[in-house]
Amino acid sequence: MSFAHSLKATMKTPTGTAGAAFVGDTDEVLVSRAKNGDYASFEQLFLRHRVLVYRFAYQMTQKRDDAEDIVQEVFVRAYQNLDRYRDEARFTTWLLRIATNLGTDRARMSTRRHALAQQEYDRGLAWMTQESNEDPVENLDSDRRRDILKKALKALPDHHRNVIILRDIEERDYQEMADILGCTVGGAKLRVLRARRALRDRALPLMQEQN
């Protein structure tokens, strides 16, 4: 079933005829219209943010079909729960919170672990060598280093891996992470610290094997 069909199947009879959704409208304006039954406004939100949600979902699943399924489910759930959305957080933050929950649920149902996107590793995970005068991987070429990080990330539990995605690959700030994860800013920082330590513990033995 397509996204449009999925949404339309959940829609109630509109209470009024809101104006057409325009690209220049803010998310807040479009959400307000959608809450009043304007499907075109919510469709504009979907068109505006589907790439962001897909990219994040793909980082979690590493499978195109799974990522596309999550995108559709995220927007269906968002539409069904619009009345629960409050503008204390950005609309995109709310969408990523839904995506995080869906991705975690999906991972728990599967015994397979998927590798994360490779092209961001060198830049996004540079922190691994910043706290030491000796770079444990300076003698490794980029392909071997990337493979080590991929294997280490693959071995992490879901809750650690998702935190690494948010902070070191997606480069979300701590306030937005706290909103997505449903915790305080201090709690988000603590989760990042624990996840990075877990990743380092997984990666160091693999680095030593390569030396």
Q: pLDDT tens, 33-82?
A: 998 888 888 989 999 999 999 999 998 888 888 888 899 899 989 988 99
**Gyration radius from the chain CA atoms:** 20
Contacts of 118 (CB under 8 A, 6+ apart): 146, 150
Segments making up each domain of the chain, as ranges: 3-108, 121-210
The pLDDT value given to residue 128: 54
CATH no. of 121-210? 1.10.10.10
Is the domain spanning 3-108 CATH 3.90.1150.10? The answer is: no
Which one, of 97, 87, 69, 94, lies nearest residue 32 by Cα?
87
The 10s digit of each residue's pLDDT in 6-24 is 554 544 433 333 444 456 7
Phi, psi of 36 (to 5 degrees): -90, 10
CA dihedral 56, 62, 65, 67 (to 10 degrees): -10
The pLDDT value given to residue 135: 47
Instruction: Report the distance separating Cα 35 and Cα 94, nearest Å.
Output: 15
Whether 170 and 56 have beta carbons less than 8 Å apart is answered as: yes
